[in-house]
Structure 1
Amino acid sequence: MASKKSPSKTATHRAAKVLSNPRSSKAAKSSAGKTLAKASSSTRSVKSAPKAGTVSRSATKRAVSRVISSRTRKK
């Protein structure tokens, strides 16, 4: 998952526009769909905890707030 780079905000915005446009071609729609799927999968990815040592409290808070903010953004 780390190797795949998530698409930028402008790329996802453009992809959403292409999908909402009824006159856009099938190929354009499929590539836009892939872009959006990649964006949504990258927001869902949760990084694994380190095997050794403890996770700092601030890191935990950051991870939780990121998940919560991504949930509220989708609505």
Structure 2
Amino acid sequence: MADRAEELKARVAARETHLRESWVRAMEARIVQDQVKACYRGESVNHYENCRELSEKYLSMLRENRVKGYKQVDVE
């Protein structure tokens, strides 16, 4: 019985770690979004040239840094 309890504790800890890391990546994307907004406001007319790197970084973070659940279900 103790073996099963330890396994359950380990699974819960792994799930919490996974979700925490997922949320941290999502919040990093939000910070970059705020930086893009500030750059856009500050650069006004030249924002296409001067904020390009931030915008590209934000777009890549949007693709990669989504909050994902612990279980992955294949529906195919």
Q: TM-score, normalised by structure 2?
A: 0.47
Higher RCO (CA < 8 A, seq sep 6+): 2
Larger radius of gyration: 2
Q: TM-score, normalised by structure 1?
A: 0.47
Higher helix share: 2
